[in-house]
Amino acid sequence: MPNRHLTRGLVVAAPASASGKTTVTLALLRLLAREGRIVAPFKAGPDYIDGAFHRAASAGRPCYNLDLFAMRPATLAGVLDYGSAGAEIVVIEGVMGLFDGAVSSEGSTADLAAKLDLPVVLVIDAARQSQSIAALVHGFRSFRDDVVLAGVILNRVSSPKHEMLLRNALAPLGLPVLAALPPEGDLTMPSRHLGLVQAEERDGLDFFLDRAADWLHLHLDRAALEQLLQPLQVSRPATLAALPPLGQHIAVARDAAFAFAYPHLLQGWQAQGASLSFFSPLADEAPAPDCDAVFLPGGYPELHAAKLAGNGHLMQGLRAAADRGAAIYGECGGFMLLGRGLTDAEGNRHAMAGLLPVETSFAERKRHLGYRRITSLADTMLGPKGSRFRGHEFHYSVQTGGKDAGAALFMATDAVGAELGPSGCRQGSVFGSYLHLIDREG
């Protein structure tokens, strides 16, 4: 196992979303893993979907989120320490543009790189520019003294002449061009309303990852890449205890409809002594009959509403867990499953578990997106009334009924403190909301 103190890393960022940084990150992870390097992947920000691709590219090594806005410093350090243990190289994929954050640049990829003292590799979509790229790179390089832009990868370079123009323009800056990548039509990544189509739903994923690795390998300056890697430093104190466990034995829903669970939360529950078991609602599996808690993460129940509604064993198992007083907590998609009914995109209503007096609809779409500051309105297994958390919200479905029934679970504000009002619902030992909790606050 590599010496912990020799773990080195870098951050892959971009000037803006859709520049190709996810494809480049996956190509780099697969290339390193294929060569036998022990590589630990991380994703900046609250994204769930990219992490599953990272795991597939990294020979099954879990990808953990690093979130400066939503995580306490000790939690971020604990996640980084746990996720990088035994690794030779750490690769962190940024979020959005390099300096984009929740408030001003707070929580941005740049903030994360500066805090971890890791170099940034900037992936630039060069398709519609030539000499102007020098001004862009100069601006990003000089914008903040505490962010080290160590190299660039030029994406969508159309021809050898285009590459020559780009390299000549960048030469006076003295910044390594690690690769000039031509467009590859078969390296597209299909998406849907919440992001990329999930890794487990992607046919031929290993072929795609190997093609991406081959593409990068053909054009990458490996020596320059190795030279810019910097040692990873983990600050102390560090903890994985982001949220208290829901119970001693927590049954966790896990399949294509309920895949949005942060790995650091699950690992944190285990670190605090809880045991986890997993079940698939789509396969009509019920939570373990001896569990004292059930966690229903977010995902895509709206795409599988008819199937879920017909899964009697699942529904009976959830109701039985509620009847015996097990804590049942649902986030976003899990919250929708706990309600009375879910209306799909075509306007068809499907009966759900009926454990919370709410109705949700994907037919009446409205985007809800952003970080949240959250205060609990009641005692739950997550903590006493008044407990404060940070989290994230991203969904297009809406709550259409039951807003006045039952009791609200949380009060929420956005990242800048604007009031968003009550959120979620609780009834007996069952509770949930559209919010994804990331960590306690304070």
pLDDT in the model for residue 100: 93
The answer to whether residues 352 and 314 touch, using CB atoms and an 8 Å cutoff, is no
Alpha helical stretches, state H, 35-152: 49-57, 73-84, 109-116, 133-142
Q: What count of other Cβ atoms lies within 10 Å of the Cβ of residue 184?
A: 14
Kindly give the confidence (pLDDT) of every residue in the chain, 442 residues in length, as a single tens digit, with 9 standing for 90 and above.
Answer: 344 458 999 999 999 999 999 999 999 999 999 999 999 999 999 988 888 999 999 999 999 999 999 999 999 999 999 999 999 999 999 999 999 987 766 789 999 999 999 999 999 999 999 999 999 999 999 999 999 999 999 999 999 999 999 999 999 999 999 999 999 866 676 654 555 566 566 668 899 999 999 999 999 999 999 999 999 998 888 999 999 999 999 999 999 999 999 999 999 999 999 999 999 999 999 999 999 999 999 999 999 999 999 999 999 999 999 999 999 999 999 999 999 999 999 999 999 999 999 999 998 777 778 999 999 999 999 999 999 999 999 888 888 876 655 689 999 999 989 999 999 999 999 999 999 999 999 7
Q: Is 236 left (phi over 0), alpha (psi -120 to 50) or beta?
A: beta
Q: What is the DSSP letter of 138?
A: H
Query: Which residues are the active-site residues?
Result: 332
Q: 3-class SS at 437?
A: strand
pLDDT in the model for residue 38: 96
Q: Which pairing describes strands 359-361 and 398-401: parallel, antiparallel, or unpaired? A: antiparallel
pLDDT in the model for residue 140: 98
Structure tokens at 144: 């903040």
pLDDT in the model for residue 368: 78
pLDDT in the model for residue 405: 52
DSSP letter string over 214-262?
Answer: HHHHHH--HHHHHHH-EE----SS----SS--S-SEEEEE-STTS-B--
Q: How far apart are CA 272 and CA 255, in angstroms?
A: 25
- Contacts of range 58-65, beta carbons closer than 8 Å, 24 or more positions apart: 58/29, 58/30, 58/33, 59/33, 61/33, 61/87, 62/263, 63/263, 64/263, 64/264, 65/262, 65/263, 65/264, 65/438
Alpha helical stretches, state H, 95-252: 109-116, 133-142, 160-170, 205-219, 222-228
